[in-house]
Amino acid sequence: QFTWEHSNLEVNKPKNRYANVIAYDHSRVILLPIEGIVGSDYINANYIDGYRKQNAYIATQGPLPETFGDFWRMVWEQRSATIVMMTKLEEKSRIKCDQYWPGRGTDTYGMIQVTLLDTIELATFCVRTFSLHKNGSSEKREVRQFQFTAWPDHGVPEYPTPFLAFLRRVKTCNPPDAGPIVVHCRYWRCVQPPSQSCWILRIRGGFLGFSLSAEFPGMLREDQYSFIHDALLEAVACGNTEVPARNLYTYIQKLAQIEVGEHVTGMELEFKRLANSKAHTSRFISANLPCNKFKNRLVNIMPYETTRVCLQPIRGVEGSDYINASFIDGYRQQKAYIATQGPLAETTEDFWRMLWENNSTIVVMLTKLREMGREKCHQYWPAERSARYQYFVVDPMAEYNMPQYILREFKVTDARDGQSRTVRQFQFTDWPEQGVPKSGEGFIDFIGQVHKTKEQFGQDGPISVHCSAGVGRTGVFITLSIVLERMRYEGVVDIFQTVKMLRTQRPAMVQTEDEYQFCYQAALEYLGSFDHYA
């Protein structure tokens, strides 16, 4: 049906990363030819139509060192303002894509000078801003590159939530008058189809248009096709909940109203939409092992196998790698937090082992030891004199009683080699035994103090956060940490998607509607004092 004669010309073959991944003739991007250079109009790239716009995208391979100049020439000639990169440079010590941009300062690629202006690294993607200047031209242009870093080595992401957030960011930042969005991975059929399809399958009044597989047969694998459907289902079901910070008050007022045709408020409906379908038991393999069940404070709150914190196994002790704890991504960093239950007497040694092995020197405690007459957390630290927990000697150094929290400092020593670290525990004491705090101000101050201390003293390890089950108040703390930081840097708020993202990493995060509403309230209070905290 389609031909690829230009890709098969001898002069062009070295420009193809793989011999069997070529550019169709009918839709290939044709560069302006350079006088006297045969084949200078060729690049392994094709136009792809969008939902409402012809040639909305350019799908291309990851540039080779010998095609860097052609790549940047294409970006310039097409007046593209956005590059989407769907691969890491390296995965498992294997090069997946050559770095075609300067690591710092300015590099020249053919006739295009590229200057790196800015790099913002977030948990699941990276944004780089470049200034482009063509030799002999006085014009300068700004181009952004969005690199999605959370695509797995094999298959597709487990959940579409982070990917949809990435797509929204790209779409928001791409100028309406810009040329095609340039999309690439290693070779342009490997990972791009879902990203292009999700844009083409754009939701508008319930109508879906699809053309990619028809235009480029064989472009989608079955798992990618399935991923597109999952992404669309989520996008349709959840809608767009991102709000400019300046409109947050109006948005909350709207959520407080009874929905038309419903008997509940918008807030209740939004919270109900968060409910995950019941996760299959196969997602909790280690948590359900007989040797580990007693280590779970609640039988229905367990870590997913894919995100659980794995301890270093102790030889001959079955289940010694298990603790009820999950890694959680932050705004800028993957695995920025560990969300865990309040330690039991039987798991206290595991808790200290987890802190040590993950270099976690900040602990956030969001419960009292007992509430409503029941144990919520075992006292896992010594009050007056040092105590030993398996390999670790914990020595209390200081305790500071603040109006809304207690700060405790411990010297922790590994008895095996004598290494020591300081661990700081922040216990928030103002959370009521029932419900949520009346005001978010004190909790916002607390979050700020924890992160300030982390920046000042913390190692590279995650902040460990626990309440009793490690999902309710713990979820609120991590949600607000992410939301407030994003508000500062982007000026937008998305409580729904933030909580949804957390729930893909640990079940039931932000457990109740009261807690969910408190996240909105605290974000609004933070906005009111933005200048003070920025």
**Residues with catalytic annotation?**
185, 467
> Structure tokens of 61?
């391979």
Please check whether residue 504 is in contact with residue 158, taking contact to mean a CB–CB distance below 8 angstroms: yes
Residue 138 parent element (H or E): none
Distance CA 477, CA 443 (A): 8
Provide the Cα torsion 16, 19, 24, 25; round to 10°: 70
Cα 1 → chain centroid: 41
Distance CA 45, CA 397 (A): 63
Please check whether residue 157 is in contact with residue 163, taking contact to mean a CB–CB distance below 8 angstroms: yes
> Structure tokens of 306?
């894919």
271: how many CB neighbours lie within 10 A of its CB?
A: 22
Give strand pairing partners of 132. Answer: 114, 141
Residue 407 is given by DSSP the state E
Which residues, 6+ apart, have CB-to-CB distance to 456 below 8 Å? none
**Runs of H (alpha helix) within 370-494:** 441-457, 472-490
Taken as a whole, the chain contains a residue count of 534
Q: Write a three-state SS string for 257-322.
A: CECCCCCCEHHHHHHHHCCCCCCCHHHHCCCCCCCCHHHCCCCCCCCCCCCECCCCCCCCCCCCCC
